[in-house]
Structure 1
């Protein structure tokens, strides 16, 4: 759970942004720079809340650059995202140099009485910290917002058919700005979750690779918050298994185990895309094959990455 929690925030933040029709490929740099900012502020002020607030603000500011460049100026969303990912990664190294490998505050554990004593589920779910519990709420609330509220329907509409949503009175430009900034703030919180909780502290390229994994998880989860969270927990399981295998098989270089979860996650993503699903499910009965294929196949929002010309 601890391993997956930062990815839950980042992947759901990107899911919200992409549901609105905007691709924010700066996730890698956003998470890294936000992690540095969160640790620097929290270490300087000895205040965790200010650290998380600073990280969320940084994530939103980077997302604002993405939104202005792609929504207003109508530049390539992919190009802008890649440039910001590289720029923010290098900025985190340059600006974070004074804070490398020094102690700082971390999120305290908060065990829930009674619930923590439930067999199996208690140690797994209720002996963590407020950040982990908040991620559970984020998963449910984002799913409920998407599929059970009018505003969620409007969010999906501006990502699928923005012209139709505009014809019904929706301010597509404003909403895309809002959801892009909100998703960026969640990515910023993901960075803070790394440097103030999961990987407490700051070092060179502290969160390298996790931004790209978050982007892959969004595709793996088919832009559905529940499936996206499942993808994040799957990656967490892979990382935990890699740690266990590293101690159990010491003769294999440690680099193999540190890279293995990323490789396996990419493999899973490849197998759940294209016509691989149909091939993998071919031996199953047709009554099983159809619902499984629908559950596994991912369909992006129809207007994802496309500029909208508002009359």
Structure 2
């Protein structure tokens, strides 16, 4: 029985570790899109931040300085998108797509000198005495007792983002500029500035996710890094989570669970080529997203209205985007 418990605890710990960077990036994009800005530069930003974090960490022998560098790179990428998209009125989608291609090439070009070199990592944080707590200690001790800092930070970030978005005045302003920027402007909110601030904050979290990959999940830098494609799946997870930080985080852990289960299934079915299990989580996540979107179909809506349980469930997991998502706002055009 202890062996089974240990195996489950090990699997859950692996899911938390694999999901931590996805959670950070997902929360960052959720904040950005809640403000009405679509950031398609995520994939490139994560790669460039991962490179910068490892390069700075290896140069100065300080992993936390590397994390700061990764966050700065993520914020700078998002800031470029914000200035061009918010203040210059250019297409957010086009600018974001160009930035992700630029950042990806820059990451591999600038990081060539650090490829396959040893460097510091973030290590682990230990929660003293957790394993000795009655009842929950034997279960949660192996899962949370000694884990990478990014695991603890990602879990704390979920609560902080939820609290900020739904329990503070700042969160009200955030949702206002994403739902009705003109009405928010009429109430004295500086819409463009608020959008830029959340663009920068979201980009910093995305940069932290990149640092988590090169300093914790897979310490080091090289090609391939192992986080390619993560930014695109984060965009899907934000939609799956209905632009809600807690549900989006659950979506990130769900995708991580698919990845971890692929590793276990590879051991169980050795005759199946390994790339099948590595690629499988991506179409599975796409199918899950499609299934979630089926709830908006007419027949499904009729069925939901006839069954109270389904109605309550659908209300608790809506996937309606912010009303002004991707829309430009120019205060000079009047109210």
> Do both proteins adopt the same fold according to a TM-score greater than 0.5, normalized to the shorter chain?
yes
Match of 1:233 among 233, 237, 253: 253
Residue aligning to 1:264 = 284
Match of 1:35 among 27, 50, 57: 50
Conserved? CA contact 2:178–2:323, under 8 Å: yes
Structure 2 length as normaliser, TM-score?
0.89
Residue aligning to 2:116 = 101
Residue aligning to 2:293 = 273
Partners of 1:59 and 1:170 in 2: how far apart? Answer: 26
Residue aligning to 1:18 = 33
Residue aligning to 2:99 = 84
Conserved? CA contact 2:64–2:122, under 8 Å: no
Residue aligning to 2:9 = none
Structure 1 length as normaliser, TM-score?
0.96
Residue aligning to 2:183 = 164
Conserved? CA contact 1:89–1:205, under 8 Å: no
The alpha carbon displacement at 1:100 in A equals 1.4
Conserved? CA contact 2:127–2:144, under 8 Å: no
Residue aligning to 2:324 = 303
Residue aligning to 2:207 = 188
Residue aligning to 1:291 = 312
Q: Which residues of structure 2 form unaligned runs of 5+?
A: 1-15
Partners of 1:74 and 1:285 in 2: how far apart? Answer: 45
Residue aligning to 1:244 = 264
Partners of 1:160 and 1:283 in 2: how far apart? Answer: 26
CA RMSD of aligned residues (A): 1.7
Partners of 2:158 and 2:26 in 1: how far apart? Answer: 10
Partners of 1:293 and 1:283 in 2: how far apart? Answer: 8
The alpha carbon displacement at 1:37 in A equals 0.5
Residue aligning to 2:4 = none
The alpha carbon displacement at 1:161 in A equals 0.5
Residue aligning to 1:123 = 142
The alpha carbon displacement at 1:285 in A equals 6.9
The alpha carbon displacement at 1:131 in A equals 1.9
Match of 1:255 among 275, 288, 296: 275
Matched, 1:217 2:237: yes
Q: Which residues of structure 1 form unaligned runs of 5+?
A: none
Flag the 1:205–1:306 CA change in 2: closer, same or farther, 3 A.
Answer: farther
Conserved? CA contact 1:32–1:205, under 8 Å: no
Partners of 1:68 and 1:132 in 2: how far apart? Answer: 32
Equivalent position SS for 1:159: helix
Partners of 2:305 and 2:261 in 1: how far apart? Answer: 29
The alpha carbon displacement at 1:247 in A equals 1.5
Residue aligning to 1:71 = 86
The alpha carbon displacement at 1:119 in A equals 2.6
The alpha carbon displacement at 1:291 in A equals 1.2
